[in-house]
Amino acid sequence: MNEFELIDFFFKSIPHDRSDVVFGIGDDAACLQIPAQTQLLVSSDTLVADVHFLSSWDAYDIACKAVMVNVSDIAAMGGSPCWLTLALTLPDYNQQWLQRFAQGLTDSLSRFNIALIGGDTTRGPLSVTLTIHGLVPANKAIRRSGAKVGDKIYVSGPLGAAAQAVVFLSRTDIDADDLHCLNQKLMHPNPRVDLAPVLQQFATAAIDISDGFSADLAHICDASQVGANLNLAKIPVHPLVENYQGNNAIEFALSGGDDYELCFTVSSADEKEFLHALELAGLTCYQIGIIEATPGLRARQLTGEVTPLDVKGYSHF
Amino acid sequence: MNEFELIDFFFKSIPHDRSDVVFGIGDDAACLQIPAQTQLLVSSDTLVADVHFLSSWDAYDIACKAVMVNVSDIAAMGGSPCWLTLALTLPDYNQQWLQRFAQGLTDSLSRFNIALIGGDTTRGPLSVTLTIHGLVPANKAIRRSGAKVGDKIYVSGPLGAAAQAVVFLSRTDIDADDLHCLNQKLMHPNPRVDLAPVLQQFATAAIDISDGFSADLAHICDASQVGANLNLAKIPVHPLVENYQGNNAIEFALSGGDDYELCFTVSSADEKEFLHALELAGLTCYQIGIIEATPGLRARQLTGEVTPLDVKGYSHF
């Protein structure tokens, strides 16, 4: 099977239900119809074998993780994911691997009504680069740079589980149910597209938590030229991380990457209305701190003392 | 330097002059304003070290080649290139390499007024995935599938030089001027964006020549459910390929990849007007055959005999 047959067989056949795809896979480029009054969002993420995932993972999980990581970037802008290109580099032609990968793509794309519109398949060390395209109503994209002094800082869900799963990757002595739950968080993160309508209306800044909560909040602070004061007692830590890490759990929640929850800010004046909208939508978020003028991150410890917070997150270099 | 500082230092600083970039590098996604009455073109290409280029190449050339290969896909649709994302995977942090790579990006993007709007930088085996975005007037994108029986087949320039350059990559006994000229064709192909206005008006089908001329023409024939009859005497072969390959030169022109000229078809009824438009634009293309109903490729040999043409092109698998 050559690469064209491979693309046709495994990828061109992935169904979608989008009338805005004028044409997708099978030409030199895909062609898309962009609705009036919207702006286009574009984001690329690469997942490299044995850096972002293990080569030994089921290809189904690799595909799901790659899609979810990319969808999360669109969610962080308050947008809707629409179209995806896939650049897949493979060490060899492995039909079973490709079947699992294509199934993972199919299932994760259909969940968000995303069309696979093109890409490239090459031979080389295993890696996956996805470029996702989303839409947002004109001038409603939520940037990292909009946080203002006095804004409340929110996080969309419990943190630390993906980092805990990474620690357990080579362990064989962990309770199977716990391990399954943690691995689900690592391999099948849940991008918070459900928050987009509320965030479009109320968030002054937003980011997805990929590098680690404190590192990602620091990105908002840097871009907005502000600082942040957190209340550690309010940080939602995943219960299994509490179980396994005890006193160290908060460290996992603050520094562990790959959570793909959203961190965002809401002006104090809008907070009541925001919480009402959230409740109407059946969603829960956690208020964990406040934006301040002084640069840097600070945190109120469980002891009541406020101390500077070290920003730790993943860096490739 | 961590990956964020790296991105800021080398890539965020690349200038552009596009008012349709609402915002680019530095957020979870870029945001773009799409003009009314246009459609969006999207294409991804991966270049893997020691498959598509040598690791030993100057990073400037690697960047240029990656950009040109992607721009060529937009040219093949009759579109204008606009925005690019870069997913760069690097084995280590090498400042000199990154400087050269960023300079190559800067020069090749400015040549086409393309904005670098985002991407991802990861550690791993060297590879470059670019996703290019272009615009085309609504319903004017030229597909592979539009060729009709009786259409004339055109190619936009001489073929075979990139394949000849690949053959000479490890040779030290070649005339320096010849080698430079051939390497320019391999490392700095010239995507035929200049043809877009004429192609939008006259081409019934088009493709860029990346896998090899006969393989790419076969893609047009397959997509259009037609066949092709070529006149080998009319195929434009690069003069240096004639010099070095003699009787084998036509084989290089037909099967060598990486030329990035365009192959396209024009209806016989429009041919006179097409040639006039081409002349007005100061451009030259070569009529090399005709579309026929019988599937497959055939070629009139220099002897006058018409024989089936083997389709040879690069395949990764």
Complex ipTM: 0.93
Domain(s) of CATH 3.30.1330.10: residues in chain A: 3-137
Domain(s) of CATH 3.90.650.10: residues in chain B: 144-308
Amino acid letter, residue A142: I
pTM of the complete model: 0.93
pLDDT at B79: 97
CA dihedral (B32, A200, A78, B15) in degrees, to 10, reads 30
Nearest one of B147, B213, B211, B158 to B185, comparing CA atoms: B158
Which residues in chain A touch residue B10, judged by CB atoms under 8 angstroms apart?
Answer: none
**Is-contact B183 B258, C-beta < 8 A?**
no
Residue A113 near chain B (CB below 8 Å): no
The CATH H-level superfamily of B144-308 is PurM-like C-terminal domain (3.90.650.10)
Which DSSP state fits B27?
Answer: B
Tokens for A191, please give them.
């991008």
A303: distance to nearest CA of chain B, Å?
Answer: 33
For chain B, how many residues are written?
Answer: 317
Tokens for B145, please give them.
């599938």
Tell me the average pLDDT of chain A.
Answer: 93
Phi, psi of A4 (to 5 degrees): -70, -45
Any idea which of A228-232, B164-168, B290-294 has the lowest mean pLDDT? B164-168
- Three-state SS for B5? helix
Q: Which residues face B80 on adjacent strands?
A: B135
CB-nearest to B29 from A2, A23, A41 is A41
Which residues in chain B touch residue A39, judged by CB atoms under 8 angstroms apart?
Answer: 22, 31-34
Nearest one of A91, A83, A104 to A41, comparing CA atoms: A83
∠ at Cα A105 (A34, B223), nearest 5°?
Answer: 65
Which residues in chain B touch residue A89, judged by CB atoms under 8 angstroms apart?
Answer: 46, 48, 127
∠ at Cα B90 (B86, B91), nearest 5°?
Answer: 170
C-alpha–C-alpha distance, residues B74 and B70, integer Å:
7
C-alpha–C-alpha distance, residues B109 and B15, integer Å:
9
Q: What is the mean pLDDT of residues A113-126?
A: 92
Nearest one of A231, A316, A218, A312 to A263, comparing CA atoms: A218
Helix A59-76 to helix A176-187 angle, to the nearest 10 degrees? 60
C-alpha–C-alpha distance, residues B119 and B115, integer Å:
12
∠ at Cα B256 (B128, B199), nearest 5°?
Answer: 80
Residue A52 near chain B (CB below 8 Å): yes
When pLDDT is cut at 50, 70 and 90, the band that residue A172 belongs to is confident
- CB-count exposure of residue A308 (10 Å: 0-12, 13-18, 19+): exposed
Which residues in chain A touch residue B73, judged by CB atoms under 8 angstroms apart?
Answer: 28-29
- Three-state SS for A271? helix
Chains A, B: CB contacts within 8 A come to 230
C-alpha–C-alpha distance, residues A290 and B137, integer Å:
47
C-alpha–C-alpha distance, residues A202 and A208, integer Å:
16
pLDDT at A272: 98
The runs of H, that is alpha helices, within B139-233 are 161-167, 176-187, 196-202, 213-224
Reported as a single tens digit per residue, the pLDDT across B95-133 is 899 999 999 999 999 999 999 999 888 888 899 999 999
Reported as a single tens digit per residue, the pLDDT across A247-277 is 999 999 999 889 999 999 999 999 999 999 9
**Is-contact B74 B43, C-beta < 8 A?**
yes
When pLDDT is cut at 50, 70 and 90, the band that residue A244 belongs to is very high
* CATH architecture, range B3-137: 2-Layer Sandwich (3.30)
**Is-contact B258 B211, C-beta < 8 A?**
no
Q: What distance, in Å, lies between the first and last C-alpha atoms of chain B?
A: 38
pLDDT at A3: 62
- Three-state SS for A16? coil
Residue B100 near chain A (CB below 8 Å): no
Q: A316 or A182: whose pLDDT is higher?
A: A182
Nearest one of B132, B306, B315, B145 to B230, comparing CA atoms: B306
Q: Please check the confidence at residue B272 and state whether its pLDDT lies above 70.
A: yes
